[in-house]
Amino acid sequence: LLQELDSLGENLDLNAILRLPYLSAVCSETLRLYPVVMLALNRLVKSPLEIMGYELNPGTLVIPCIYLTHHREDLYPQSKQFKPERFLERQFTSSEYLPFGGGNRRCIGMAFALFEMKVVLATVLSRWQMELADSKPVQPARKGALLGPGGGVQMRVKGRHQQNQGVRETSFV
């Protein structure tokens, strides 16, 4: 990701940031592992329906689970591992990857959220070398209708990112 960001030079152009394939893959993989919303909107079956071998009768309430879908081993081998490359190797359908919901009920803020995520990540990583302050695994926690990192994610600035030259080893106090 740092190599891709370094290819932009010192002046970050917003249009160039939005077109970076590995940055997009990192954002997609992050939203796959930690979707902001765990459940999609409820659906009521109106006519007989079969989903993955299950027969659903009219009147059945269906609540799609985004979190569980994103952790299906048949769709995402080694689903607990952070592997952005999976989004470079394959296009997932709207029923396999749905961090913003799907169909005509997809989140209206999707484009802005992705734009903001990419710009913030590119800006911070192109300037600073960061590390986790704590090595404990991040566990998702329910916060009302949304999911977020339980207890937050504490980061430490290690130094300034030197473009195309690696990172200084000194830490800021």
Tokens of 99: 């961090």
Average confidence (pLDDT) over 30-41: 90
Q: What is the pLDDT of residues 71-124, one digit of tens each?
A: 999 999 999 999 999 999 999 998 899 999 887 778 899 999 999 999 999 999
Residue extents of the structural domains in the chain: 2-167
For residue 152, pLDDT over 80 is answered with yes
Average confidence (pLDDT) over 139-159: 86
For residue 173, pLDDT over 60 is answered with no
**Are 139 and 133 spatial neighbours (Cβ–Cβ below 8 Å)?**
no
Average confidence (pLDDT) over 62-68: 91
For residue 40, pLDDT over 50 is answered with yes
Percentage of the chain with pLDDT > 90?
55
The CATH number given to 2-167 is 1.10.630.10
